[in-house]
Structure 1
């Protein structure tokens, strides 16, 4: 009797399932959802293990802020000190050690300083047919009274006479082409004596004129 009762129950369940197919569909959907959740969890766990971490961000380099005492005139570049680009504000740069100026102290040839010692200036006072009157102005450039000797020569000619204006006379000696004259009185410091002479048959330009060996200035 018990075997005859169980057979009807299984057939009833089978008949119920066959009459309601949506139950099988719902069960399949649940199984698929469970498998999808398991697969997604496994993928997330693997990606978290195998993926390396992101590299750290590089440090940000900021330019130095120039001090208030030096203001750069050019643009500030990263990594460079602003003090290197500071330009002078005085315009054209000047050298730290300017070259010294060299001035020439050469004497002016038109106005030479008076030399020390006895000096003379030669000139022609008067010219006439066959001769002329010449003059040597002797000046004492020293600080003491001194005597003097004049020597004048020409290219030929004949010496006639010589004398000192307004002073004690000295001694004249004729030489070839000219004469020598030794003073009879000393000349005071800064003072002068005028020697005049008469020459014939020669050109008035001398070949030599000295006072104590110093050449005369031709006037």
Structure 2
């Protein structure tokens, strides 16, 4: 009984970092991901946007206490408490730190793990996947490619999904954009600036 009591806080702490069976409630520490199957980083991916860099003091002013803990300190929200765990409205999910659209509702599914799950990111260059050795496990951390905010982890444990992957993401790391508002906000967030039109020659309208 003593071992069971000691393990409970650890499971609650690592949260979505654990690899979980798709149809089961989390009850134990997951199997370890092998090094051979893990990317060190995809930071060399083509960048379509400029990175955002702030001091930690600036991030503290920009984010709520909970957002700062997860996005900047790599924390994890408690299972089944996140706003978007059972949220399936049509739209997209942007980084709560910088507004970059990262996931779309079409790729979201109910993994029953207690956190929002997606089988793919919007594009490979929107997120960075990095080896994570914390808590004595080998996993793949997912961060926002523009601001570096911690989003969650990705696992190869969703065989019923098109990619076989489960992006296990903290709700607090995301902001939802309804489909009706998506186009305007995507243009503002994602589109590169338009080149200035050349001035017409003198004497021409």
TM-score, scaled relative to structure 1: 0.17
TM-score, scaled relative to structure 2: 0.18
Q: Give 1 or 2 for the bigger CA radius of gyration.
A: 1
Query: Which is richer in strand?
Result: 1
